[in-house]
Structure 1
Amino acid sequence: MPHGHDAARAVAQVAGVAVDTRHWINGERVTSPDTFTDTSPIDGAPLARISRGGAAEAAAAVDAAHTAFPGWAQTNHTERARILHAIADGIEARIEELAAVETADNGALLRSHRRGVMPRVAHNFRFFADWLLQLRHDDFDTRGHTNHISWDPAGVCALITPWNAPLMLATWKVAPALAAGNTVVLKPAEWSPLTASLLADIAAEAGLPAGVLNVVQGYGHEAGAALVRDPRVARISFTGSVPTARHIAGAAAANLVPVSLELGGKSPLLVFADCDLDLAVDLAVEQFDNAGQVCLAGTRLLVEASIADEFTQRLIARTEALRQGDPRGEATDIGPNIHPAHLTRIDSFVQRALAAGARALTGGGPNTDLGGLYYRPTLLTDVAPDAEIVTEEVFGPVLTLQTFDTEEAAVALANATRFGLAAALATGDQERAHRITGQLVAGTVWVNCFFVRDLRAPFGGSRHSGIGREGGTWSFDFYCDLKNTVTAPKGWLTRG
């Protein structure tokens, strides 16, 4: 596996930012014999030729992480936290660059990257650095013996991340894994790998020792598969599809490696007649965020029949007023979808639904005025309760609308999929909200709000939406080996 000697040829200019297209392994840039093309969803233009890793690169990265682990694990908490804060400083210094590169790479709104996403990326590091310093469990007594709980670093962590929020979701995993004292091999999605490379530069500049963070680029069935099979890997965290998760879980099972899986959803948004209707429509429109490429999105609108007509009219008007176009434009509300294959997948779902009797109240196909990867925000009705379009994740700007007459019917519809990631409801009745949230199968439920996330809270899904919870202490529970040390009372004699 050659190291890159001609660095200039391995650097791409993306949105005016120099991005190294090689892997980052053991504190060095490393090339591969093969490459793949990374293209922009905005206009289909090629952005860079990316080093295409496989088994050799994955093994080299695990070697580096395995070697670096003892030193990083023994680094005291204060120093670990200091370096993580330095990484956050580096991110904040480059927010404009990171935002511009990520928008070019995955097509999400530039204004969102600038104002929300990249500040959250920095916060991921600050939060887990600070949480590390206050992580503790009160000692407790057992017949005079003291029990002391500690979190020991687990080892090498394989982190495989998706394309819809590349840097935010990567750092959601990288930050707690590093804070816990582990070393990391990050495999970003091949459709949006660029900001992971910039993160490697920022971490190195912040003083993170060589081998503690490694970045291997490539396809999931090559680099990713080799990575999760490596018996030296101690933890695997993956965000992505259910079929891929099954392969990862099988590889992890062979080595008895704990996994954290976040696998998307088909979340409901329940709208009751006693709600603030303006708020309910606002919440529904928000589900088109990031061109519908949000795992938490409440794409199934479940509306009480008595207000369905008025709700629908307002929602159609608001949806048709959304401005679709270049995500770099300040006034743009919806940008492109990520890749031609994904756009085809989205449209195939919609066309099958229409052929089965569904009706498009607005949208229903690609935006032919814009061409490329722009899909019109779509609202479908007249869908059967068991239709594919309401049971399978589309991951695009496509909502379905169903009605109900009773709470019991609303809950039954809400829980009628194999997923259980999130849910939202709009109601003016606090008792009803409490009643219903207790019945919904979901890892997160929002009442009269959406996408409010605090890193102190557990995050994850039920059923096919995933395994495990991360956030706050739950992240350290996953990325560490928990230990209980039991000490006899003072004065007890030991045997000589």
Structure 2
Amino acid sequence: MSEKTTVAGVAVDTRHWIGGERVASAGTFTDVSPIDGTVLAEVARGTAAEAGAAVAAATAAFPAWAATPRAERARLLHAIADGVEKRLDELANVETADNGALLRSHRRGVMPRVAHNFRFFADWLLQLEHEDFETRGHSNHVSWDPAGPCVLITPWNAPLMLATWKVAPALAAGNTVVLKPAEWSPLTASLLADIAAEAGLPAGVLNVVQGYGSEIGDALTSHPGVRRISFTGSVPTARRIAASAAAALTPLSLELGGKSPLLVFADADLDLAVDLAVEQYDNAGQVCLAATRILVEEPVAEEFTRRLTEKASRLRQGDPRDEATDIGPNIHPRQLEKIDGFVRRAVASGARVVFGGAPNTRLGGLFYLPTLLTGVAQDSEIVQEEVFGPVLTLQTFRTEDEAVRLANDTRFGLAATLATGDPARTERVTARLVAGTVWVNCFFVRDLRAPFGGSRHSGVGREGGTWSFDFYCDLKNTVTAPKGWLSHG
């Protein structure tokens, strides 16, 4: 196979990165752009052999990296961030071609956030500490010890940002990493390997392997030498990973799907509430945090729906490389078929299409129209299951209790968004919502100091700030007797 491909004018190596070297596989898989169906690359298709080699490289590199002083680890993470910023436009162009998200978003928000991920955890590492405390004159000292090789499995909807959200704290903690990107969008992970090597990261500290979960993922997650597994993706895949990791009792962090609500009360600023609703079409609806279930208090439901319909009609769908585009394509034909299947079944069950409801036939390809459905039952598939596309449902409620009941009535609990002008109501409702993150009169405000994760089937564990180090480290408490004190047991 060809060792490199050129995407948007950028040379991308399509081989694995293992132990500081490029490694080919006997087979490849085809990576296709969702924008126009162009074949971008034939990518190395890893197997259990490459999984084993990557874990071996990470294992060999671990002792030296774990012993590297915090200040030097932080310096190298900052150097990686420098490299990301130097190649920001290249990374943005490649990722847009690979996963179809808006180029303007990649340039202005996503790729700067990639660099910030490294800088934040580098700086957090340097101030990570727990105040010593006493027990009957004995001192207690808490420390964060590097755990070992980590397997990080990342999704296709925000490939590099979500990968580095895991890579940065794992490396900062003194661990070595095997990163397995999604096969639908693997290219910027390969570029990250180049950037890390250029920054001086020692060989084997970061390894990148590509391929299908059934062929390389299982070999990684079941490997007894792996000490942490972090995964972002679907609930069914998480179940398989958890089962695979069970034999070695490998600790897991799982950030899974969502079916988040947007609660709009009659006292809300309706224009703000409509803006929040329209934001849920971002990235063609391929956002795990998206508030896809809109719950509106009855007195304002008709006016809210009118304003939402009018504003959504102004969204521009098209080529994500165009600065004027608001919504790009969905990632893959299978994803488009899944989205359309959800909508068709909902309509067949009695749902009413307010707008959208079908693929965009004018554009063809993988473009699905922004969609709003009403007349949906609470126990229906479209309300209970994650669509992961530009499809929202709208239901009404009469009381605060009913709003909370509907909001919590799914198996998920990733996020919730609340639109209200009443501070007392805010306090009451947010206290009762089952969600890892609740936004009030805002959406998608993320601070790396805050805990992030989901409740119920939306995940296991929390990451961010010290919570990330708690996961990626073995916490140790050292208890020391006072000087001159002798214990006889």
TM-score w.r.t. length of structure 1: 0.98
1:39 aligns with 2:71: no
> What are the residue-to-residue correspondences of 1:310-459 with 2, within 5 Å?
310-459=303-452
Q: Equivalent residues in 2 for 1:82-97 (5 A)?
A: 82-97=75-90
Distance 1:119 1:431 in 2: 37
How far the C-alpha of 1:494 sits from its partner, in A, is 7.6
2:4 matched to 1:11?
A: yes
1:461 to 439, 443, 454: 454
2:261 corresponds to 1:271: no
For 1:371, what is the secondary structure of its paired residue? coil
Number of residue pairs the alignment of both structures matches: 488
Return structure 1 stretches of 4+ with deviation > 4 angstroms: none
Query: Distance in 2 between the 1:346 and 1:381 partners?
Result: 16
Question: What amino acid does structure 2 have at the position aligned with 1:428?
Answer: G
CA distance in 2, matches of 1:429, 1:264: 30
Q: 1:302 maps to what in 2?
A: 295
Q: Find the residue that maps to 1:182 and give its secondary structure.
A: coil
**Residues 32-65 of structure 1 deviation map (CA, whole Å, 9 limit, x = unaligned):** 0000000000001100000000100000000000
Distance 1:31 1:463 in 2: 40
Residue identity opposite 2:267 in structure 1: D
**Match of 2:30, SS?**
strand
Structure 2 SS opposite 1:483: strand
Aligned match of 1:171: 164
TM-fit CA distance, 1:251:
1.3
Deviation per residue, 1:92-126 (Å, 9 max, x gap): 00000000000000000000000000000000000
Is 1:215 aligned with 2:221? no
Q: Alpha-carbon deviation of 1:490?
A: 1.2
Aligned-partner residue type, residue 70 of structure 2: H
Q: CA deviation at 1:493?
A: 4.5
Write the distance in 2 (CA, Å) between the matches of 1:476 and 1:494.
33
SS at match of 2:328: coil
Q: C-alpha separation between the residues in 2 aligned to 1:254 and 1:466?
A: 20
Alpha-carbon displacement from aligned partner over 1:367-404 (angstroms, at most 9, x marks no partner): 00000000000000000111100000000000000000
Q: Deviations over 1:58-90 (max 9, x none)?
A: 000000000000000000000000000000000
Residue 3 of structure 1 corresponds to none
Whole-angstrom distance in 1 between the partners of 2:169 and 2:486: 41
Is 2:277 aligned against 1:281?
A: no
- Map 1:130-149 to 2 at 5 A: 130-149=123-142
Map residues 56-71 of structure 1 onto 2, 5 A cutoff.
Answer: 56-71=49-64
Q: SS in structure 2 opposite 1:424?
A: strand
Aligned to 1:191: 184
Aligned equivalents of 2:4, 2:244: Cα separation in 1: 34
Aligned-partner SS, 1:438: helix
How far 1:426 moved relative to its partner? 0.2
CA distance, structure 2, for counterparts of residue 493 and residue 46 of structure 1: 72
The one-letter code of the counterpart of 1:287 is Q
Provide the secondary structure at the position in 2 that maps to 1:72: helix
Q: Aligned partners of 1:52 and 1:178: how far apart in 2?
A: 25
For residues 198 and 149 of structure 1, the distance between their equivalents in structure 2, rounded to whole angstroms, comes to: 37
CA apart distance, 1:254: 1.1
TM-score norm. by structure 2 comes to 0.99
What whole-Å deviation, never above 9, does each CA across 1:392-451 have from its counterpart, x for those lacking one? 000000000000000000000000100000000100001101100000000000000000
C-alpha distance after superposition, 1:298-331 (max 9, x if no partner): 0000000000000000000111110000000000
Q: Determine if the alignment matches structure 1 residue 112 to structure 2 residue 105.
A: yes
Find out whether 1:151 has 2:152 as its counterpart: no
The question of 1:102 aligning with 2:101 is answered no
**CA deviation digits over 1:141-179, x for unaligned, max 9?**
000000000000000000000000000000000000000
Map 1:220-259; keep pairs closer than 5 Å.
220-259=213-252
Q: 5+ unaligned residues in a row in structure 1: which ranges?
A: 1-5
Query: What's the RMSD between the two structures over aligned residues?
Result: 0.8
Q: 1:492 offset after TM fit, Å? A: 2.1
Distance in 1, Cα, partners of 2:447 & 2:257: 19
Counterpart code for 2:85: E
Question: Per the alignment, in what secondary structure is the counterpart of residue 296 of structure 2?
Answer: strand
User: Structure 2: which 5+ runs fail to align?
Assistant: none
Q: Matched residues, percent identical?
A: 79
Query: Matched residue of 1:189: which SS?
Result: coil
Partners of 1:432 and 1:202 lie apart in 2 by 48
